[in-house]
């Protein structure tokens, strides 16, 4: 059964945090997470990665229980015998998808999450849960010229994180092109528990 929480900015919202607490498989102080910062390439993007890391530590995840994923280091390609969940940070969605596929870890994430391993997405980490990420060109640059953009398909809809009224026209155009869209603001999350999908926050 899928156990997935997709966010725009992490677990800062009270309702989102409470949902997180309700779906983790063990006490937060015992939780082991694979932390994937791969989408962030710039100094500015890495600030958000550190914000996510510090947030996890602040809420009670032990620093020693956080494994940093490195696409080029297979020893960090953890499975369900080593970690209780996967936390995928934000940044450039196209670069993230490319590096996950290039490392061979993409299919492993797909398998683990479909088998029930906890998956937490932040921004780009949420976008890659759609069937394809090409729609996110309305928000994100495909500066690596990625051609094959099929993604994890944990949901059948396209996920728009950081939603505000300024994105309403982009969402309208996507829907008019027969693209099913779910929006999540910075204070919301999308919970996927098995086949039950609900918005939180």
Where in the sequence numbering do the catalytic residues fall? 123, 162
Q: At 115, give phi and psi (nearest 5°).
A: -90, -5
CA–CA distance from 130 to each of 19, 135, 136, 152 (Å)? Answer: 21, 10, 10, 6
* Residue corresponding to tokens 């995840």: 61
Nearest one of 15, 14, 35, 9 to 123, comparing CA atoms? 9
Inter-residue contact 7 to 161 (CB < 8 Å):
yes
The structure tokens listed for 79 are 């499975």
Total Cβ atoms within 10 A of residue 179: 15
Which token pair is 186?
A: 């910075």
Among candidate residues 7, 59, 9, the one with its CA nearest the CA of residue 33: 59
């Amino acid at each position: 059964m899928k156990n997935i929480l997709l966010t725009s900015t992490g677990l800062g919202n009270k309702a989102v945090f409470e949902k997180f607490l309700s779906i983790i498989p063990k006490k937060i102080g015992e939780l082991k997470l694979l932390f994937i910062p791969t989408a962030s390439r710039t100094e500015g993007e890495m600030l958000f990665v550190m914000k996510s890391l510090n947030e996890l530590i602040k809420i009670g995840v032990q620093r020693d229980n956080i494994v940093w994923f490195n696409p080029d280091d297979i020893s960090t390609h953890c499975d369900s015998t080593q970690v209780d969940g996967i936390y995928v940070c934000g940044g450039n969605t196209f670069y993230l998808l490319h590096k996950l596929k290039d490392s061979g870890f993409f299919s492993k994430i797909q398998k683990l999450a479909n088998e029930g391993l906890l998956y937490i997405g932040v921004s780009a980490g949420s976008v890659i849960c759609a069937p394809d990420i090409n729609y996110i060109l309305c928000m994100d640059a495909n500066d690596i010229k990625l051609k094959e953009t099929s993604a994890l398909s944990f949901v059948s809809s396209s996920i728009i994180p950081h939603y505000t009224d300024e994105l309403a026209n982009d969402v309208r155009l996507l829907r008019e092109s027969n693209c099913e869209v779910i929006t999540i603001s910075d204070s919301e999350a999308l919970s996927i528990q098995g086949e039950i999908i609900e918005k939180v926050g």
